[in-house]
Amino acid sequence: MEATEERRVSKAVREAADAWCAEDPEQDVAERLVAGYRTSVLRKTAFIMACCLGAVVASGISLGIGTYHIGFLECYDIVWKHFIGEVEDKMLDFFVVEERLPRISLAILSGIGLAACGCVMQSLMKNPLADPYTTGISAGAGFGATLAMTAGITVLGGSYSLVWNAFLFALIPMMVIVGVSKIRDGSPTTMIMAGIAIMYIFNAFSTVFKLFADPDDLSALYKWQVGTMGAAGWSDIMLIFIVVIAGFVFLQIHSRKLNILSTGDESAKAMGINVDSMRRILLVVITLVVACIVSFTGLIGFVGLVAPHIARIFVGSDNRFLIPSSAAFGAALLVIADLIGRTIISPATLEVGVITAFIGGPVFLFLIVRSRRSTW
């Protein structure tokens, strides 16, 4: 029975190969492969460009929405004239450039950083459920914010005390994971388990402080924890821009090594890659980028988890294309989520973290069902 089945499959394969070769006998096989590769690259590039276009369109719409409505093209005209020093209407310039553009810029940068880091984290850990928060970054930042807002305990004083607390405490899980991986080994399982352990510890401490917190402080803390795009000015945006872009470029440079790592640790070591060292270095970079973002925005879930999965459907698992595709989709997703949050119950605002949860949850369930079906 098995032999009959094998012969049938072999015959089907031969017929398919003969049909493929018969389509154009004069065309060399190598030329076919090159043509197929070029088509694949064009398709992947088209997806990235479509995501960028979606982010631009959503940004233009978002710039025009508020207490004073402004047209789509007029918004971009105002932005352009502001940066070339030809401001015509100071009131419109204030609404667009000073009040709305920082919010949209923060959404774009946060989407790029969270999605790109989520993509690399999934490749690094070889786990489709991994994202930057898996390592306990969110729990550390949340505990730092809890200390600052409920107990007044800050590492550094001043107007940025909350930001510094969230940032510095977000780095602690990374240091613990790196330490544990050096003591044991640098395997993905060790890193994920260490991150989960740290997450539960920080969440427990945060809960204790919340139990004794003032109701007003608790309300402000919950607002920070669901994620917001309205807490950063231009000076903050420039800092986030430098960190996110530098981190993105670093991750993109290592995309080829990530592709090799996906074939297995032994194969990567045979090709001269120090696997454990590479994991630690990339984890440090991911932590710095994500910690910088969440210290200003609060905790925004699902972007680093869902965006890489969506991008993978269109561009495959090649990290050279998957990282920029995830970043572009993450930027578009977060801008659209913020736009929905600002308009769905206007004039009130629904914070962006709530919208990403509403979008990300059903989408992730769909991806799980789709993955199961393809496996079967």
DSSP 209-264: HHHTS-HHHHHHHHHHHT--SSS--HHHHHHHHHHHHHHHHHHHHTHHHHHHHTT-
CA distance 145 to 67: 31
Residue 105 lies in a domain: yes
Residue 1 lies in a domain: no
Number of structural domains the chain divides into: 1
CA distance 169 to 224: 15
Rg (CA), the chain: 24
The predicted structure's pLDDT at residue 376? 31
pLDDT band at 75 (very low <50, low <70, confident <90, very high): confident
Q: Are 295 and 103 in contact (CB under 8 A)?
A: no
Q: What percent of the chain has pLDDT over 90?
A: 21
Q: Is 263 or 375 the better-scoring residue by pLDDT?
A: 263
Residue 24 lies in a domain: no
Segment 285-314 mean pLDDT: 88
The predicted structure's pLDDT at residue 241? 94
3-state secondary structure of 283: helix
CA distance 109 to 267: 35
CA distance 238 to 355: 25
Helix axes 101-125, 319-343, angle to 10 degrees: 140
**Predicted confidence (pLDDT) per residue in 177-220, tens digit:** 888 877 776 677 777 888 888 888 988 988 888 888 888 788 87
The predicted structure's pLDDT at residue 9? 45
Q: Is 275 or 9 the better-scoring residue by pLDDT?
A: 275
Residue 33 lies in a domain: no
Segment 266-286 mean pLDDT: 84
For the chain, the 3-state helix, strand and coil shares in percent, each to the nearest 5, are 80, 0, 20
**Predicted confidence (pLDDT) per residue in 128-155, tens digit:** 777 777 778 888 888 888 888 887 777 7
Residue 7 lies in a domain: no
Residue 234 lies in a domain: yes
Segment 267-289 mean pLDDT: 84
For tokens 């670093």, the residue is 250
From the list 53, 56, 73, the residue with the least C-alpha distance to 64 is 73
Residue 370 lies in a domain: no
The predicted structure's pLDDT at residue 16? 52
The predicted structure's pLDDT at residue 50? 94
Amino acid at 191: M
Segment 303-323 mean pLDDT: 90
pLDDT band at 167 (very low <50, low <70, confident <90, very high): confident
CA distance 323 to 317: 9
Amino acid at 210: K
* CATH number for the domain that contains residue 318: 1.10.3470.10
The predicted structure's pLDDT at residue 374? 45
Lowest pLDDT segment from 55-64, 180-189, 268-277: 180-189
Q: What percent of the chain has pLDDT over 70?
A: 88
Helix axes 234-253, 101-125, angle to 10 degrees: 30
Q: Which residues contact 6 (CB under 8 A, 6 or more apart)?
A: none
CA angle 96–68–82, rounded 5-degree value:
20
CA distances from 36 to 27, 28, 33, 224 (A): 13, 13, 5, 48
The predicted structure's pLDDT at residue 73? 86
What is the longest distance spanned by two Cα atoms in the chain? 82
Residue 211 lies in a domain: yes
What's the domain range around 322? 39-364
**Predicted confidence (pLDDT) per residue in 5-56, tens digit:** 445 545 554 555 555 455 555 456 667 777 777 788 888 999 999 999 999 9
For tokens 């997806």, the residue is 47
**Predicted confidence (pLDDT) per residue in 365-375, tens digit:** 877 777 654 43
